[in-house]
Chain A
Amino acid sequence: MDMNEIKEIFFQECEEQLAELESGLLKLNDGDRDPETVNAVFRAVHSIKGGAGAFGLDDLVAFAHVFETTLDCVRSNKLEPNHDVLKVMLKSADVLADLVSASRDGGSVDESRTRGLVKELEALAKGELPAGGHEAPKAAPAAPAPKAEAPAPTDDSGFQPIPFTFEGFGDDEEPAIEGATYEITFKPRRELYAKGNEAALLLRDLSRLGEMSINCDMEALPALDKMDPEASYFAWKISLKTTKSEDDIRAVFEFAEWDCELEVKVAEENTSDEELPMTPVPFDLSILDDSAAPAEEEKAAAPAEDPAANAVAAAETATGVAKAVARAAERKEAAAPATPAAAAAAAPQTIRVDLDRVDRLINLVGELVINQAMLSQSVIENDNTGTSSINMGLEELQQLTREIQDSVMAIRAQPVKPVFQRMSRIVREVADMVGKQIRLVTEGENTEVDKTVIDKLAEPLTHMIRNAVDHGIESPEKREAAGKNPEGTIKLSAKHRSGRILIELQDDGAGINRERVRQKAIDNDLIAADANLSDDEIDNLIFMPGFSTADKISDISGRGVGMDVVKRSIQALGGRISISSRPGFGSTFTMSLPLTLAVLDGMVVTVAGQTLVVPLTAIVETLQPETSAIHSFGATQRLISIRNSFCPLVDVGRVLNYRATQANPVEGVALLVESEGGGQRALMVDAIQGQRQVVIKSLEANYTNVPGIAAATILGDGRVALILDVDAVVAASRGQSLKPEMSFAATG
């Protein structure tokens, strides 16, 4: 792993932290006051700052620091996270996200916006704190590092020298002989050892600062039987001749200073080494040696003649007692059966896998499914004896293949949460822009769907959300006048329904202005002036190409992109979209999407000699039309009567231009389908071959989008079969041309 890979990990992690941050802030905004929510929010920003610091991303660090400082005020209950505070914080989260993107992709951020928010955050932090006690947040993390450190070396791990704030480790430079002599008195308290510090190690570090002599005071050492292994009985008087400052000396004791008595002073002129009597002590250097760090080996093999080493060893013996106790306990543990595996039994484990690998696996499984189908077919064709063992083996193979496929698909399933979370930012920003108050409520964020579907969902959803904010929800004044809450609500929900994911976008705005939509459609020659359309049909006119109700194209939902584009992208995903609206109460967009773009359950049918696959989810029932049930209607239309209601017949062969004249319905099979926007149609096909799960293959990869065809698949005989786009075929039967460039003509 090199630094770039770690940086990549950092940015991935940032995405997760940003999501965490936003969802936490939104929870707080909804009145959640769980301290863990605040902690999670704080941690998210803190973590981003930490990583950013390591990569020298100064702008990111600076902003995260200010943000974190303000969040800390919330965490310590100095600042109440009310709506105004959260508004600033949500905006800050957006800026933080922008800064992360800019750091990753090298783009730029709106600096004035960032500066403005820094001011707002600082004001929040200050405003609620007791006057005088608070230091204004700095633009960068405090960097005390007062010591002169050698420049950070670039080591072979690929780390670049990075800004570094590190207090107090002395360096290992050979000290010059000239310099002052210090007298140091060091008396550890028992707490020093309790925290894992070692007097011996401190003395070792101290000895590196210069020439040192040590006098160990063992006065306090009791008889062995009275000895408390945890207690501290030794004190040291040290004389150190060094060029370093007193601060450098104290820095050695940095970790220990609270747990010892420490006195450092410049020695009197006449004090010399000789006047400090040495206490000879036995020592066991092996304690230091055997666990020496690899890089430390040279230094650890300290010459025994070194006077300091003797005292160091003396300290070892003192703490050695405590260590021996600990080690004995350790050995006892080691003798017992080892149980390290117990640690692994916690929480669901996850691994991160490169998406390409998953996709490769999915493709291979797709091939496996096709191969299995081909094998089954050729066995059936060649096997007239019906050898049961082969058939049973094949059935098992089929079962296994199916299971493998389901399991592999499950790997790609992801919750829709990240996309939903992105939407809340869009609501905030667009609402701000148009001066509306809007709350986004999300439901079913953990509903899972294939990652490809999620990725492709963001764009149409963004567009719809913009539309809902810009056109759907009224201004606060209008809402109040209508007796509504001035704050509008947009609800975004996801759930599974019959093997598909259903996403609903609901606003409590004014609903579709049908009169205006209708007029617009007439003006644009989309419908005839006297067209007789149901409310539903009028509402769904907004999906027509080139239809836009906005009188002037606004900055938000404009840019010449209409709902037809949304509809097309949803359809490209094998999905359907429809709208239902209640004037005065708002509109609901309903999208139904496949859970995966990799496989579908289909009915294999024959039309004009061609094999087609009809998605099973679209089919309500199949029936064999009888002559008495078929009724002609107008010049070319035919209806079929099903349980006393009349349903238009659609000859798939005609729609796809496979044949020049309509087939005789009585000779074929009717597939009753439910299309988006309600309404049933009976699709006429020549024959049904059977039901099968098929692997979806893109037509667009090498060819192009074909009207009426959703995708392709490969059947057991190795040939390509086309998957019918039921909605497009139904739409075509309504009079909409399958050729997108041809204009719409309403059926009367």
Chain B
Amino acid sequence: MSYAVKNLVQEGRELIAFRIGDQEFCVNIMSVREIRGWTPATPMPHAPAYMMGVINLRGAVLPIIDLSARLGMKEAEPTARHVIIVAQVKTKIVGLLVEAVSDILTITDDNIQPVPEVSSELEKQYARGILAIDKRMICMIDLDALFAEKESEAA
């Protein structure tokens, strides 16, 4: 159910694209450790709504974040078909719950378009660019920026 992605050849910039609802997002493949299936998480007390709880990842305690809720969309109702993207955010490893991984993209910088002006604060915080691929729109997420706030919350 889980497969490692770290051995993929890196040419240009490689991104992993995934789906949440009817939207597509992507993150830099370099920050992704592995992708695995959903397993029930142990809820954490006093945690924000997007914090689904923690799971056991080969002996380490891995927090699972409902990326949909974190991005201000509706809370996910995880099923066995959901996947967890295990990613490195700064010094920590987190699991990001998404609906499905859709693609591995190789792009160059000129594929990236700037984030439109209309965006709200939340989008400005995490969105690093927009990709147009096969008439799809994919939003590029900066995980470090997205979770920058998390640490100050915890302090």
* Residue ranges of A at the interface with B (Cβ–Cβ < 8 Å): 363, 366-367, 370, 610-611, 656-658, 697-699, 701-709, 712, 714, 718-722, 738-739
B61 in contact with A366 (CB, 8 Å): no
Contact residues in B for A707 (Cβ distance below 8 Å): 45-46
Contact residues in B for A702 (Cβ distance below 8 Å): 60-63, 92-94
Residues A714 and B45 in contact in the complex (CB < 8 Å), given A701-B92, A702-B93, A719-B40: no
How far, in whole Å, are A720 and B43 apart by their CA atoms in the complex? 9
Contact residues in A for B80 (Cβ distance below 8 Å): none
Residues A720 and B55 in contact in the complex (CB < 8 Å), given A656-B45, A702-B93: yes
0/1 interface trace, chain B 12-44, chain A, CB 8 Å (1 if under): 000000000000000000000000000011111
How far, in whole Å, are A722 and B62 apart by their CA atoms in the complex? 13
Residues A712 and B61 in contact in the complex (CB < 8 Å), given A719-B40, A719-B56: yes
B56 in contact with A714 (CB, 8 Å): yes
A366 in contact with B59 (CB, 8 Å): yes
3 nearest A-B residue pairs (beta carbon): A704-B154, A656-B45, A703-B63
Residue of B whose beta carbon sits closest to that of A739: B46
Whether, in the assembled complex, B54 has its beta carbon less than 8 Å from a beta carbon of chain A, the answer is yes
Please count how many residues in chain B sit with their CB below 8 Å of the partner chain's CB atoms: 24
A/B pair count, beta carbons within 8 Å: 73
Contact residues in B for A657 (Cβ distance below 8 Å): 45-46
B61 in contact with A706 (CB, 8 Å): no
Tell me whether chain A's interface is mostly helix, strand or loop, or mixed.
Answer: loop
How far, in whole Å, are A294 and B86 apart by their CA atoms in the complex? 60
Residue of B whose beta carbon sits closest to that of A657: B45
Contact residues in A for B56 (Cβ distance below 8 Å): 714, 718-720
In-complex Cβ contact of B46 among A611, A701, A708, A721 (8 A): A708
B44 in contact with A363 (CB, 8 Å): no
Residues A720 and B61 in contact in the complex (CB < 8 Å), given A656-B45, A701-B92: yes
B44 in contact with A709 (CB, 8 Å): yes
B136 vs chain A, min Cβ distance (A) = 32
Residue of A whose beta carbon sits closest to that of B57: A702
Contact residues in A for B59 (Cβ distance below 8 Å): 363, 366-367, 370, 697, 714
B58 vs chain A, min Cβ distance (A) = 8
Residue of A whose beta carbon sits closest to that of B40: A719
A680 vs chain B, min Cβ distance (A) = 23
Contact residues in B for A699 (Cβ distance below 8 Å): 54, 61
Residue of A whose beta carbon sits closest to that of B51: A703
How far, in whole Å, are A462 and B12 apart by their CA atoms in the complex? 52
- Extra pairs beyond A702-B92, A702-B93, A709-B44 (5, CB < 8 Å): A610-B42, A656-B46, A707-B46, A720-B55, A721-B42
0/1 interface trace, chain B 121-142, chain A, CB 8 Å (1 if under): 0000000000000000000000
B42 in contact with A722 (CB, 8 Å): yes
B62 vs chain A, min Cβ distance (A) = 6
A30 vs chain B, min Cβ distance (A) = 45
Residues A701 and B61 in contact in the complex (CB < 8 Å), given A706-B46, A718-B56: yes
A722 vs chain B, min Cβ distance (A) = 7
In-complex Cβ contact of B42 among A363, A366, A698, A719 (8 A): A719
Contact residues in B for A712 (Cβ distance below 8 Å): 42, 54, 61
Contact residues in B for A698 (Cβ distance below 8 Å): 61
How far, in whole Å, are A703 and B41 apart by their CA atoms in the complex? 14
B55 in contact with A719 (CB, 8 Å): yes
B18 vs chain A, min Cβ distance (A) = 20
Residue of B whose beta carbon sits closest to that of A655: B45
Contact residues in A for B62 (Cβ distance below 8 Å): 702
Residues A703 and B45 in contact in the complex (CB < 8 Å), given A697-B59, A712-B61, A720-B61: no
Contact residues in B for A714 (Cβ distance below 8 Å): 56, 59, 61
How far, in whole Å, are A722 and B46 apart by their CA atoms in the complex? 13
Residue of B whose beta carbon sits closest to that of A608: B43
Contact residues in B for A367 (Cβ distance below 8 Å): 58-59
In-complex Cβ contact of B60 among A656, A701, A706, A708 (8 A): A701
Contact residues in A for B151 (Cβ distance below 8 Å): 704
How far, in whole Å, are A199 and B109 apart by their CA atoms in the complex? 82
Residue of B whose beta carbon sits closest to that of A366: B59
A221 vs chain B, min Cβ distance (A) = 81
A703 in contact with B92 (CB, 8 Å): yes
A-B contact pairs, 13 of them (CB 8 A): A656-B45, A657-B45, A697-B61, A699-B61, A702-B63, A703-B61, A704-B151, A706-B44, A706-B46, A709-B45, A720-B42, A720-B54, A738-B46
A715 vs chain B, min Cβ distance (A) = 9
